Structure 1
C-alpha cells in the first residue's frame, strides 16, 4: 500500500492546504534569530537522525515564528472573551499536538521545537509530554491481550489522557502525567511528570489526532495547533530497522531491558526480527490508525529518505 492509495491525497484535501517547497518555506523565517548552538542541536537529535543546522534554520525557525504569532493571536482572542464575560484575564496554555508514525522522528521534532519556542521572550515556559505515559501498564495490556497492539488506540488510557489535557487547558496549578520507561517497556510505578501552568504544552504521540468512534471529547479538541510528521513507508521502515540495530548494541544490553532477549542476535536475524515487528505491529498501526489522521493536522511536514524535510503543507485558515 502506498500513499497514492490514501483518499486523503485527493484534490479536495489538497485544496485545503498551501504547499511549500523547502526553500520557499525557509524564506518565511524573516528575521527570526537562530537561538540554538551546534552543541544544542547535537544534544537534541534522535538516535539515527541527521539533524543539521540547515534543517533547524530552514524548517524549524519559520515554524517557530508562525507559532509565536499564533500564540499571540490566541492570547488576544482569549482577552476578548474574558472582557466580554467580565472576568479577570487568563492565559491558558497553548497546546500543540504532534503526530506521526513510530521512527518518523516525532520525538526529535518535539524536542527541537520545544527548545526554540522556549527562547521566545513571550512564552519561555514550554513543557513536552508524550502519550507513552498514558499507555496502560504491561499488566493490563497482557490481561486484555493487547501486547501485540501496543501503540494502537485501544492500548491507551484515553480517559486519563483527556482528563490531563482538560486540566492543563483549564489552568490547573499542577497537573500530573504518568511516566513511561522505554527500557522496561512499561509505566514507571509512582513516578510522575508535573506540569505547572506552562505557556505552551507540546503533546506528542502516535494517535494524538485520532477521532475515536463515539467519543464525546478527543485529545485534539484541546489543541490550538497540530503537526503531522510524514514520510514514505519504505523510508520509515528503514529508519525503524536502523534504530533497532542501534538499540541492540546499547539499550538492549542493559539489565532490566524488556528487549534484552534480542541483544545477542546476529545482525541478519536482528534485521529480520525488526522487520517482522515493523510489519506486524507498527506498519499496521500506521495504515489503520495513524496515517488516516494526517489530514486533520494544521501542518504536515514531509520528510525525504535522509530524514530532511522536503515539503511543507499548511492548512488554509
Structure 2
C-alpha cells in the first residue's frame, strides 16, 4: 500500500538565508541616512545600515514588482472592460507579536517605498486605533485581554479597508496613545488618496473565528501583500522586558502615563512585573491568536538576537 506524503506548511515557501537574500537587491544605492534610521528604529532597537541594505532594500524591490504588476493588471482590465477606473491603493499588511519590531519594519518599508522612482504617497496605519476605548473594555471586562481579538472593533477596521479598496478619495482612522493607553477620541489620522497603505498590527492576519456575529470578510482579504515578523519567544520576551525598563525611566515618569504607578520599581521588580504581564497576557495572545496566523502571510521575516533578520521566507506563486 502506497503512503501519501502530505506537504508541510513550510513547503509553500522558498527560504533564503540572510546572505542569500542580501544578494538580490538591484538598487543597493537606495538607502537611509543615519539620522533617518535613528528616527525610524523602535525603543531599545538599533537599525544598522546593513539591515537596511541587506534585508529591506531587496524586500521593497520585491514589493515594487508586485505593485507594478497590480498597475499593469489594472490597466489591462480597463482596456478589457472598456472602462476608465482609478487604480485603488496597494495595501500591505504587517503582523507579528508585541515587541517583535513590526512597527519598525513598517516604518522602514514606508520610508523606502517613498523613494521609489514614481515617488508614491505611502500611508502607515496601526490597528491600535481600532481597539475599543478603555471605557468599553472595562464595561465588558476585557482590560486584561487588551490586544486579544475581542478587544478590537473589527467591523470598523474592515469598513476602513473597504473604503480604501473601493476607491474612496479620503477617509480617517482613529489614533491611539501609548502614553494614556487609550484611543484618542478627538483625534484621527487623515488618509487622502494614497498610492500605498501599510496596515500594521498583531491582529491583521486573524480570521475572526471566535465571533460569529462578524461578517466572514477578514481584514487580510483587503491585502495585496502580507508580511509576518517572527522570532523565538525567548528573544521576544527579552525585548519586551528591556523595552519595559526603558519606558519605566522615560514615559512612565509622566503623570499622564497609564503605567505611572510602575515608575519607582527597582530593576528586579520591573523585570518581574514585565514578565508577569507577558506570561498572563501577551504570551498567551501570541500562542493562541498571533503565531497561528504566521503561515497566512506572503512573507515571513525571522529575527535572531538584536532584531537582526536571519531568514526570509517567501510564499511560492
Normalising by the smaller structure, the TM-score range is: over 0.9
Whether the aligned pair in 2 keeps the contact of 1:123 and 1:200 (CA below 8 Å) is no
Aligned with residue 140 of structure 2, among 128, 133, 144: 144
Aligned with residue 104 of structure 1, among 94, 100, 103: 100
Which runs of no fewer than 5 residues in structure 1 stay unpaired? Answer: 1-9
Whether the aligned pair in 2 keeps the contact of 1:26 and 1:59 (CA below 8 Å) is yes
The CA deviation at 1:197 is 1.3
SS of the residue aligned with 1:15?
Answer: helix
1:41 & 1:224 partners in 2: Cα distance?
Answer: 26
Match of 1:61 in 2: 57
SS of the residue aligned with 2:24?
Answer: helix
Where do residues 242-253 of structure 1 align in structure 2 (5 Å cutoff)?
242-253=242-253
Aligned with residue 21 of structure 1, among 17, 21, 28: 17
TM-score by length of 1: 0.95
Aligned with residue 119 of structure 1, among 101, 115, 133: 115
Aligned with residue 80 of structure 1, among 76, 81, 86: 76
Whether the aligned pair in 2 keeps the contact of 1:32 and 1:65 (CA below 8 Å) is no
User: Deviations along 1:158-195, whole A, 9 cap, x unmatched?
Assistant: 00000000101112111110000000000111111010
The CA deviation at 1:11 is 4.8
2:69 & 2:28 partners in 1: Cα distance?
Answer: 18
The CA deviation at 1:274 is 0.2
Whether the aligned pair in 2 keeps the contact of 1:96 and 1:225 (CA below 8 Å) is yes
Match of 2:312 in 1: 312
SS of the residue aligned with 1:178?
Answer: strand
1:210 & 1:78 partners in 2: Cα distance?
Answer: 28
TM-score by length of 2: 0.95
Match of 2:295 in 1: 295
User: Deviations along 1:24-70, whole A, 9 cap, x unmatched?
Assistant: 10111123432311111111111111210000000000001000111
2:65 & 2:40 partners in 1: Cα distance?
Answer: 24
Match of 2:157 in 1: 161
1:261 aligns with 2:264: no
Whether the aligned pair in 2 keeps the contact of 1:123 and 1:199 (CA below 8 Å) is no
The CA deviation at 1:123 is 4.5
1:305 & 1:276 partners in 2: Cα distance?
Answer: 22
SS of the residue aligned with 1:28?
Answer: coil
User: Deviations along 1:62-87, whole A, 9 cap, x unmatched?
Assistant: 00100011100011111222222221
User: Deviations along 1:130-179, whole A, 9 cap, x unmatched?
Assistant: 00000000000000000000001110000000000010111211111000
Match of 1:235 in 2: 235
Match of 2:195 in 1: 199
Whether the aligned pair in 2 keeps the contact of 1:25 and 1:58 (CA below 8 Å) is yes
Match of 1:3 in 2: none
Which runs of no fewer than 5 residues in structure 2 stay unpaired? Answer: 1-5
Aligned with residue 184 of structure 1, among 180, 187, 196: 180
Runs of 4+, deviation exceeding 3 Å: none
CA RMSD of aligned residues (A): 1.1
The CA deviation at 1:240 is 0.2
Number of corresponding residues:
308
1:230 & 1:179 partners in 2: Cα distance?
Answer: 25
Match of 1:226 in 2: 226
Where do residues 29-40 of structure 1 align in structure 2 (5 Å cutoff)?
29-40=25-36
